[in-house]
Chain A
Amino acid sequence: MIARGWVRGVAAAVVACLWGTQALAAQAVEPLRENILTGAAQDEVAITATFSGSELFFYGAIERNRFLVEEELAPDVVIVIEGPSSPIMVRKKGRVAGVWINRQAIRVAAAPSFYAVASTRPLDEILRSGEDRRYRISLDTSVYILGIPTSAEDPEEFRRAAIRLRQSEGLYFAEPYGVELSDRTLFQTRLSLPANIVEGDYRARVYLVRDGRVIDDASIKIPVRKQGLERFLYLAAKETPLFYGFGTLLVALFAGYGASELFRRLRR
């Protein structure tokens, strides 16, 4: 806080100086150009045997060709973190002969396994809907159904249900004030990854928004990987399933028999 206060003080002083000289010169200011620079505190997330979620920390700065003049507002920053996308089946239960059974199903062509949007202010206050669709920023633009749905009456209901279910599992969320912008230049955000994420290449997209438009963007790849025992077991189960099956049986037999023999001896 002390450091930030100091930076703010200097920035204010510099701005005041510039403002003073410019006011003296009384001429039009140069057109503003802004770029975004960003980084993440970690290059990858490891899912280990005791994985219980993780926190992602992003930071960055807005680069400008000149200082902002007093009446120029700070831009907004939006950060989207997206997990690997895959098609999913969304099923709806219906009542048949007194019991509830899955009756309708629809295939959602693309649904990210994880989706978080953090921004300096709520998206609908800062972004035009055309821009939102173009850059696929809000959650609603990233989960969609392709083709002609067959067995469902109201496909939109299924799409919304998919979003709602993943929201309730903590896999989709929005943090409308989750990005902190200081001195109209430096930004940072912390987002938590829940424990139930799947592995794959996650991508963070960072957008600089001004007057409802995206004026610059950047992206970072963050691989999320199972590691150690988790990775070994997962790969074995997928790539050499017969070997995995035998291995599981052997370990289970050994552990089960060993433990019960141990107890038998202890009781004597």
Chain B
Amino acid sequence: MQVYLPIAEMSVNALLLLSLGAGVGVISGLFGVGGGFLMTPMLIFVGVPPAVAVSTQAPQIVASSLSGVLAHWKRRAVDVKMGLVLLVGGLAGSAIGVQLFSWLRELGQVEFAVTLLYVVFLGIVGVLMAVESVTTLRRNRNGTPPPPSKPRRRLIHRLPFKMSFKQSKLYISVIPVLVIGFTIGVLGAIMGVGGGFIMLPAMIYLLGVPTNVVVGTSLFQIMFVMAFTALLHSVQNQTVDAVLALLLLLGGVIGAQIGAALGASLRGEQLRLLLAAVVLAVCLKLAIDLTVTPSELFSITSVGDMT
């Protein structure tokens, strides 16, 4: 069944979009990640204009984080104070990210910038995940206990403007919190990702946020920052496609249920290695696209609405 996307101005197969949403949903349910980092490249692969692919992720991420935020909220697993500080950084980052995105569109470099950012971030995250799960697997096989973690928080503790975050049992400077929030805001606007894959390690390793509140707090920030990003993209770039968002979302919800059910019967470390493989495969494909001589050197954008 063909569906005409009103903003992308193209006709696509609705089943293709639903199954794309479901596929990414399975992965996100399986691994507990947002999946935006896979969805954006996939949409570009099927021919959705990169600008539309990136900005349509924003409402999508808001909707898929709502259930999580509510669940964590009920369990009091959200550090609201830290969430709000992160949010302040995130809103500023989002505003700047959307401006940057507009500017890239005028230059005709959205596709290049998005692809390059993806190659860099997916590469780093994929390698880190693969290394970590391989060492854990090997350690489990040898039966050696994991070495005690040495949190390197010295620099962070020397920064000024300290604030107490009671729920996280932390007394730290607001600067690194704002910086993390800001970075996530910029990346969300330009890459169309929630940014959990960067935010969780940053909060755990850099700030020392306890694991019981880290997921709820980051989801809280991501949801509001992406809602703001969705509004900004709608107003500034007019590239949010409601029909596309809805189709991906419905597929995603179904997929996430399947993924969660599958995940219950698989072991954690193997799962993580599998996710690392998926991430690296997408990264490799994008890297090849950047470096191999393209079959078509030319491209057209209409000046009226530079999608």
CB-contacts of B100-126 with A (<8 A): 107-109, 112, 116
- Chain A neighbourhood of B290, CB < 8 A: 99-100
Residues A249 and B62 in contact, CB atoms below 8 Å apart: yes
Report 24 cross-chain contacts, Cβ distance below 8 Å, ordered by A residue: A49-B3, A52-B4, A87-B302, A87-B303, A90-B298, A91-B301, A93-B298, A94-B297, A99-B112, A99-B290, A100-B297, A164-B298, A165-B296, A165-B299, A196-B11, A229-B6, A230-B6, A237-B7, A248-B245, A249-B62, A251-B246, A252-B62, A261-B67, A263-B257
- Chain A neighbourhood of B252, CB < 8 A: 256
CB-contacts of A79-117 with B (<8 A): 86-95, 98-102, 105, 107, 111, 113
The size class of the interface chain B forms with chain A is 35 or more
Min CB–CB distance A93 → chain B (angstroms): 5
Min CB–CB distance B290 → chain A (angstroms): 5
Residues A166 and B230 in contact, CB atoms below 8 Å apart: no
Residues A100 and B257 in contact, CB atoms below 8 Å apart: no
Q: Is A242 an interface residue (CB 8 A)?
A: yes
Residues B240 and A165 in contact, CB atoms below 8 Å apart: no
State A107–B296 Cα separation when bound (angstroms).
18
Residues B67 and A234 in contact, CB atoms below 8 Å apart: no
Q: Is B142 an interface residue (CB 8 A)?
A: no
Q: Is B66 an interface residue (CB 8 A)?
A: yes
Give B239-272 as 1s and 0s: 1 = Cβ < 8 Å from A's Cβ atoms. 0101101100110111011000000000000000
Min CB–CB distance B153 → chain A (angstroms): 37
Determine which of A52, A101, A233, A263 lies in contact with B7 in the assembled complex, contact meaning CB atoms within 8 Å. Answer: A233
Residues B250 and A53 in contact, CB atoms below 8 Å apart: no
Min CB–CB distance B4 → chain A (angstroms): 4
Residues A50 and B7 in contact, CB atoms below 8 Å apart: no
- Chain A neighbourhood of B242, CB < 8 A: 233, 237, 244, 247-248, 251-252
- Chain B neighbourhood of A229, CB < 8 A: 6, 243
Min CB–CB distance B44 → chain A (angstroms): 15
State A252–B227 Cα separation when bound (angstroms).
11
Given contacts A244-B234, A253-B63, A255-B250, contact A50 B4 (CB under 8 A): yes
Residues A105 and B303 in contact, CB atoms below 8 Å apart: no
Residues A99 and B116 in contact, CB atoms below 8 Å apart: yes
State A98–B246 Cα separation when bound (angstroms).
38
Q: Is B155 an interface residue (CB 8 A)?
A: no
Min CB–CB distance A83 → chain B (angstroms): 12
Min CB–CB distance A70 → chain B (angstroms): 50
State A259–B250 Cα separation when bound (angstroms).
7
Which chain A residue has the least Cβ–Cβ distance from B239? A237
Q: Is A51 an interface residue (CB 8 A)?
A: yes
- Chain B neighbourhood of A102, CB < 8 A: 107-109, 112, 299
Min CB–CB distance B144 → chain A (angstroms): 39
Determine which of B230, B257, B292, B296 lies in contact with A248 in the assembled complex, contact meaning CB atoms within 8 Å. Answer: B230
- Chain A neighbourhood of B10, CB < 8 A: 195-196
